[in-house]
Amino acid sequence: MSELTEYIQFVLAPQMITGLALGVAVVLVALGLTIIFGLLDVINMAHGEFYAVGAYLALALGASGVSFWLLLVIVPLLMVPLGYAVERGLIQRVFNTPDRHVTTLLLTFGLGLVLEEGLKVVFGPNTQRPPTPIAGAVEVMGVILPSYRLFLIIVGGAIVGAVALALNKTRLGAIVRAAAFDRNMAASLGVPVTRVFAGTFAFGVALAGLAGVLLAPIYSVFPTMGRDFIFLAFTVVIVGGMGSVAGAVVAGLLITQVQAMASLIVSPVWSDPIVFGIMVLVLVVRPQGMFRRLGHA
């Protein structure tokens, strides 16, 4: 009996919390992806690179003395004009081509390439790690938890909740959902659709940047960090249902827990195949994902 409680206390519970921290971070990134897809019908292949840009901004500003708490506000705010400019300057240019999915995917893929290489030019290819803003650990019911991961879970969870609330309960959220449901009808009712599109894209990019700030102290910062992370985020979006906010949250937490538990049994090397296996299974059984698309109740 005591062996079991010890296993739970020292192996299972910490592993679950680690998985949960990763899950919350993945949800933050996937949330931006899925909102952008739900509204604009665009697969943002550069999303991982926006996440990396956020992390690097935090690193650079942090090194010049800006406190971590300020970074949590400043970096997303800095990402907004970047996202807005990308939507208006690049995506809108090819938005009305017949094959929008493929064209925008290609365009954002190219953008991701440029951003990633740009990060290498500016910051060098090496891995860097900002100091952990909250050191130490707390003990909850005999389980020792790193404080920063706990903080990440709470703050990330609060942001996800706020986004869901804003989308479903506010006037602005109603506008976004209306535009996602039928952009022409929304436009004819006076919704400034082009600005809503650009604003939503910028918002998604800001969320990715925020995830970058939050995760930099745990997973380090390197130019290809976005590429490694985005596969997981894409899987979450597919499994949850492209364009579904609830789906991204549920799938994000579920997949990262499966991953965390699986790594107790098999080598962590197999985490990608497991994630991919889940994705294929969902696509085969239910290609539209678990939940409905944004704006489609």
Partner 1 sequence: MHEPAVPAQSTALIDRLGLAMRASHVLVLIFVVGGIVFAALGTAMGDTFFLRLATEALIFAGLALSVDILLGYTGLLSLGQALYFGLGAYVSAVVLKQVASFWAAMAAVLLVSLVVGLLAGLIANRVRGVYFALVTFGLAQVVAKAVYNTRALGASDGMIGVPIVPVDLGLVVVMSNAPAGFFLVALGVIVVLYALSAYLLDTPFGRVLVALRANERRVPFLGYSTRSARLAAYVLAAVVAALSGALYPMLRGFVSPELLFFATSGNAVITVVVGGVGTLAGALYGGVILTLLKSVVGSITQHHLVVIGLLFMATVIFLPKGLLGLVTPRIERLLGRGR
Residues that bind partner 1 (CB under 8 A): 43, 90, 93-94, 97, 99, 101-103, 105-107, 109-111, 113-114, 116-118, 120-121, 227, 231, 234-235, 238, 242, 269, 272-273, 276, 279-280, 283-284, 287
Say how far apart CA 258 and CA 282 lie, in whole Å.
Answer: 14
Say how far apart CA 172 and CA 39 lie, in whole Å.
Answer: 13
Q: In whole angstroms, how far apart are CA 192 and each of 77, 91, 168, 184, 206?
A: 22, 17, 19, 11, 21
Shortest CB 280 distance to partner 1, Å? 6
Q: Which of 92, 147 has the CB closer to partner 1?
A: 92
Shortest CB 260 distance to partner 1, Å? 18
Q: Which of 17, 31 has the CB closer to partner 1?
A: 31
Shortest CB 118 distance to partner 1, Å? 6
Q: Which of 44, 200 has the CB closer to partner 1?
A: 44
Q: Which of 117, 182 has the CB closer to partner 1?
A: 117
Shortest CB 147 distance to partner 1, Å? 32
Shortest CB 99 distance to partner 1, Å? 7
Q: Which of 93, 129 has the CB closer to partner 1?
A: 93
DSSP 146: E
Backbone φ and ψ for 144, nearest 5 degrees, come out as -90, 125
277, two tokens: 């296996």
Q: Which of 161, 287 has the CB closer to partner 1?
A: 287
Shortest CB 150 distance to partner 1, Å? 31
Reduced DSSP (H G I as helix, E B as strand, rest coil) percent helix, strand, coil of the chain, to 5: 75, 5, 20
Shortest CB 272 distance to partner 1, Å? 5
Q: Which of 40, 13, 21 is nearest to 147 (CA)?
A: 21
Q: Which of 116, 208 has the CB closer to partner 1?
A: 116
Say how far apart CA 192 and CA 172 lie, in whole Å.
Answer: 12
Say how far apart CA 51 and CA 152 lie, in whole Å.
Answer: 16
Q: Which of 240, 237, 232, 286 is nearest to 259 (CA)?
A: 232
